[in-house]
Amino acid sequence: MKRFVYMLVMMTSMMACKSVSKMVEKGEYDKAFDYSIKKLTGEKNKKTEYVKALEKAYTKLNTATLKEVERLNASAKPENWPKVLQLYNSIDKRQDKLEPLLPLVSVDGYVASFDMRSYSNEIMDAEDKASAYHYSNALALLDRAEKIGDKSSAKSALSELQKIEKIKLNYKDTQRQKDKAIALGITRVNIQIYNGLRDFHSDNIERSLYDMSLAKLDKTWLDFSYNSRDAQSDYIVEVALNEIFFSPERERLHTYSESKEILISKDQVKGDSTTIEKQVYEKVKADITELFREKQSELHGNIRIINARTSKVMKTVPVNVYFDFKGYSCQYIGDKRALTDETNKKLDNYIEPFPSDFVLADNLAAAFQDAVVKELKNFKFE
Q: Do residue 312 and residue 381 come from a single domain?
A: yes
Query: What are the Cα distances from residue 31, in Å, to 16, 34, 56, 57, 317?
Result: 13, 5, 12, 9, 58
Q: Do residue 234 and residue 341 come from a single domain?
A: yes
Position 276 in a domain: no
Q: Do residue 35 and residue 160 come from a single domain?
A: no
Q: What is the pLDDT of residue 17?
A: 53
Q: Do residue 48 and residue 166 come from a single domain?
A: no
Position 265 in a domain: no
Q: Do residue 162 and residue 97 come from a single domain?
A: no
Report the range of poorest mean pLDDT among 203-212, 260-269, 294-303. 260-269
Comparison of pLDDT for 158 and 229, the residue scoring more: 158
pLDDT, tens digit, 9 for 90 and up, residues 289-321: 999 999 999 999 999 999 998 999 999 999 999
Q: Do residue 236 and residue 341 come from a single domain?
A: yes
State CA 172 to chain mean position distance.
34
Q: Do residue 179 and residue 202 come from a single domain?
A: no
Could you give the number of structural domains in the chain?
Answer: 3
Of 62, 89, 117, the position where a domain reaches its end is 117
Q: Do residue 176 and residue 83 come from a single domain?
A: no
Facing residues of 298 across strands? 245, 322
Q: Do residue 210 and residue 354 come from a single domain?
A: yes
- Give residue 165's domain range: 126-185
- CATH number reported for the structural domain that contains residue 364 in this entry: 3.30.160
Q: Do residue 130 and residue 213 come from a single domain?
A: no
Q: Which residues of 328-340 are buried (b: 16+ CB within 10 A; e: fewer)?
A: ebbebeebeebbe
Please tell me the pTM assigned to this model.
Answer: 0.71
Beta strands in 247-274 (DSSP E): 250-270
d(CA 202, CA 361): 9
Helices 29-40 and 48-72 cross at an angle (nearest 10°) of 140
Q: Do residue 87 and residue 172 come from a single domain?
A: no
Report the range of poorest mean pLDDT among 5-14, 73-82, 147-156, 191-200. 5-14
Residues 361 and 298 sit within 8 Å (Cβ to Cβ)? no
Facing residues of 305 across strands? 237, 315
- The residue-averaged pLDDT of 20-34 equals 92
> Peptide bond preceding 248: is omega within 30 degrees of 0, i.e. cis?
no
Position 21 in a domain: yes
Q: 10 Å Cβ neighbour count for 237?
A: 23
Using 50, 70 and 90 to split pLDDT, how confident is the model at 268? confident
